[in-house]
Amino acid sequence: MQNNTITHKIATILPTSKGLRIHPRIGRRAPGTRSKRIQESPNYQDGKFVNSIPTDVCQDGYALHFIKNRLFGNYTASPPSKIPLKPLHPESFKTMPLQGSRAFWLGHSCALIEIDGIRLLVDPVFSRVISAVCFIGLKRFHPKPIAMTDLPKIDVVMISHDHIDHLDKSTTQYLAAKGTFFLVPLGIGALLKKWKIRESQFKELDWWESYTVGKVRLICTPARHFSGRSLFDKNRTLWSSWAIIGTKYRIFYSGDTGYSNHFQEIGHRFGPFDLTLMEVGGYDPYWPDIHLNPEQAIDAHLDVKGRHLLPVHWSAYDLSLHDWDEPIKRTVKAAKQKNVDLVTLHIGDNIEFGQQFSSSRWWEKIK
């Protein structure tokens, strides 16, 4: 999620009974041991987290580019009719997958993954409107395929970074109240503490650090992005991708990221992956370093030695200046050119490893 949108430009101003005030700094330094870990991280320099290679969050001239295209651009920012969903019910999770693993796409970057008897939830956002402030935000194009209250017991939530379309306060607090455990990149623990989540319910990881639950190893892997939920907390927390290593199957989630050689290193260390969840939307020529475009997503999938590719980070929010369905159209074309096995699911559908599945081009029916 880019913090150069209108939402982020005013995200630090909140209404009060006396008018307007600036939102208090969100990215406070973590106390004690957590602060020591942050300062000792090789990814932390001069009071903030950094990428492993030089990275521009946004190039000069973006403001004019944004205003011009918002006012006069000829693109379709949102679907002209309803997005078809595959509704999920609690009965869908009464039994675990026959071959040990499956992945449900819940829209945008959110996925529910079952592997070796463990249920994982990746970047869950169930709020219909996401916002850093109470009076303005981004509305999702479609409801979730399952109500948050109907979710099965989640063993671990994995967060890639602190942007509002990946880390949602109300969703996080609801899941925490159910006893869910959270894995987050370094620095996000301070925000969880601010949200009244107990330290025993989360663990912060640096790149290449891992956490094991049951027989599943969860590895915080690098990404090329940035963080911040206001104008005053840029890069106070780390961003990441995630590798999920089961006894038989391996899954990789890119998180929000630009292209770099970190994909090859992840593939070398932990590949091949049976499934990759690669972001394909939200790109813009003015921020080429921090988001993959569809063609780069295909290359990244090949770099990590992926088998099936499930495109994510599209069809939910108006985050950039491209048509709402341009990411998937370009992804389909690029995958065909490089002979990549693409999985295009209805929101709410799943891929079960070891079983036949059928992709759908549902977006072509939206006119």
Q: Which range, of 15-24, 251-260, 280-289, 313-322, averages the lowest pLDDT?
A: 15-24
Q: Given a cut of 60, is residue 31 above it in pLDDT?
A: no
Using CB atoms within 10 Å of the CB of residue 278, give its burial: 0 to 12 exposed, 13 to 18 middle, 19+ buried. buried
**CA torsion, ordered 197, 199, 202, 208, to nearest 10 deg:** 140
- Mapped onto helix, strand or coil, the DSSP state of residue 304 is coil
User: What is the C-alpha separation between 362 and 286, in angstroms, rounded?
Assistant: 30
What's the CATH code of the domain at 183?
A: 3.60.15.10
Tens-digit pLDDT profile for residues 41-92: 999 999 999 999 999 999 999 999 999 998 998 999 999 999 999 999 999 9
Name the average pLDDT for the chain. 90
At 103-145, the pLDDT tens digits run: 999 999 999 999 999 999 999 999 999 987 655 789 999 999 9
Q: At what angle do helices 294-303 and 262-270 cross, to 10 degrees?
A: 30
Answer yes or no: are the C-beta atoms of 126 and 316 closer than 8 Å: no
What percentage of residues in the chain have a pLDDT greater than 70?
Answer: 90
With respect to residue 356, please indicate whether it lies within any of the assigned structural domains.
yes
- The answer to whether residue 213 scores a pLDDT higher than 90 is yes
Q: Would 1 be classed as within a structural domain?
A: no
Residue 238's nearest CA partner among 189, 181, 293 is 189
Closest C-alpha to 314, from 332, 300, 301, 328:
328
> Is 65 inside any structural domain?
yes
Cβ contacts of 174 within 8 Å, gap of 6 or more = 126, 148
Q: Which tokens go with 164?
A: 């509002």
Tokens, residue 220: 């915080």
Query: How many angstroms separate the CA atoms of 332 and 361, rounded?
Result: 10
- In the chain, pLDDT over 90 holds for what percent of residues? 83
Using an 8 Å Cβ cutoff, are 363 and 328 in contact? yes
| Nearest Cα residue to 325 out of 311, 335, 337, 336 | 311
> What's the pLDDT band for 97 if we cut at 50, 70, 90?
confident
- Domain containing residue 333: 6-51+59-365
Number of other residues whose CB lies within 10 A of the CB of residue 283: 28
* Structural domain total, the chain: 1
Within a domain: 151:
yes
